[in-house]
Amino acid sequence: MMTKTALVTGAASGLGYELAFLLIKDGFDLILVDKDAPKLKEVKQLFKEFKNEVKLLTKDLSKPNIAQEIYDEVKLPIDVLVNNAGFGLFGTFANTDWKRESDMLHLHVLTTTHLTKLVLPEMISRKSGRILNISSLAAFQPGPLMSMYYASKSYILSFSEAIANELKGTGVTVTALCPGPTKTLFQETVSSDCSENKISFNMACPVAVALYGYNAMKKGKTVAIPGAFNKFLSTIPRFVPRNMATRIVRNIQEKNRGE
């Protein structure tokens, strides 16, 4: 029986690492992609107890056409694709750095979409495959002071739901994992002067979030929101005016990341 292969982006830490661990524990060979070469090597060392192959690709996933570069280097059928890599940026849109925002859009939108586009035809031809796209609770409403992050995560959710519908009956599934705040290194990249949330009552454990998303992916669930409180929060925009939901998000962001 041939070993199956999983490709995980942003695999050097946080949810990417936890999802890679679950995959190798389930017997998958791994292709781990991240721009942090030293941490990728650490991950490979941590996985040495497993007999499966672990291939490392040091790539900046925010660069144009990086998905094609990765796909060309891999030269293997991908049975599971985990589009996990991402980062946030805090501040008013008029004042945030465009280069950073452009990198975010390339990463969250173009790289995620293109990698999915590249692996799907082979999955469909084999009548088997799983794609897990990491969206966010942020996907369900506009997000003042993190406008580009919220918008890009909304794209990932909408894109995932649409193609999941298109793929019904093919044996291939797409799952969008939409966690709330999770205790990972993500917070350190949001802004240089604020490395962690000030509001932490709803902070989730990455191990639990990864396991929830992994099980949802295996079941072929389209949208996975870990935690009862997060599920409740995701429904609020349906029941209150959008401008009110937007004001609530801004208030939370100001308390969470303000001085």
194: amino acid identity, one letter = C
Instruction: Please tell me the predicted confidence (pLDDT) of residue 188.
Output: 47
Instruction: Please tell me the predicted confidence (pLDDT) of residue 259.
Output: 47
Instruction: Please tell me the predicted confidence (pLDDT) of residue 192.
Output: 42
Going by C-alpha positions, the residue among 158, 200, 155 that lies closest to residue 180 is: 200
Q: Check pLDDT > 50 for residue 27.
A: yes
Interatomic CA distance for residues 234 and 187, integer angstroms: 21
The token duo for 235 is: 């429904």
Asked if residues 257 and 145 have their Cβ atoms less than 8 Å apart, the reply is yes
Band the pLDDT of 203: cuts 50, 70, 90: low
Instruction: Please tell me the predicted confidence (pLDDT) of residue 244.
Output: 77
Question: Which region holds residue 169: left if phi is over 0, alpha if psi is between -120 and 50, else beta?
Answer: left
Instruction: Please tell me the predicted confidence (pLDDT) of residue 207.
Output: 93
- Kindly report, residue by residue over 105-118, the tens digit of the pLDDT: 999 999 999 999 99
Q: What percent of the chain is predicted at pLDDT more than 70?
A: 90
The token duo for 202 is: 């709803």
Task: State the number of CA atoms in the 13 A half-sphere of 248 facing the CB.
Answer: 13
Mean pLDDT of the chain: 89
Residue 132, class by beta-carbon neighbours within 10 Å (0-12 exposed, 13-18 middle, 19+ buried)?
A: buried
Band the pLDDT of 251: cuts 50, 70, 90: confident
Nearby residues of 153 by Cβ (< 8 Å), 6 or more positions away = 86, 108, 135, 136, 138, 139, 178
Number of domains in the chain: 1
The token duo for 137 is: 């609770």
Q: Check pLDDT > 90 for residue 20.
A: yes
Model confidence, pTM? 0.88
Q: Which of 17, 149, 150, 214 is catalytic?
A: 149
State which residues form the domain around 144.
5-257
More confident residue, 257 or 69: 69
Q: Check pLDDT > 70 for residue 171.
A: yes
Going by C-alpha positions, the residue among 170, 75, 64, 172 that lies closest to residue 116 is: 172
Instruction: Please tell me the predicted confidence (pLDDT) of residue 220.
Output: 97
Q: Check pLDDT > 70 for residue 161.
A: yes
Q: Give the CATH number of the domain where residue 61 resides.
A: 3.40.50.720
Instruction: Please tell me the predicted confidence (pLDDT) of residue 215.
Output: 98
Interatomic CA distance for residues 40 and 104, integer angstroms: 21
Instruction: Please tell me the predicted confidence (pLDDT) of residue 202.
Output: 55
Q: Check pLDDT > 90 for residue 184.
A: no
State yes or no: is 149 an active-site residue.
Answer: yes
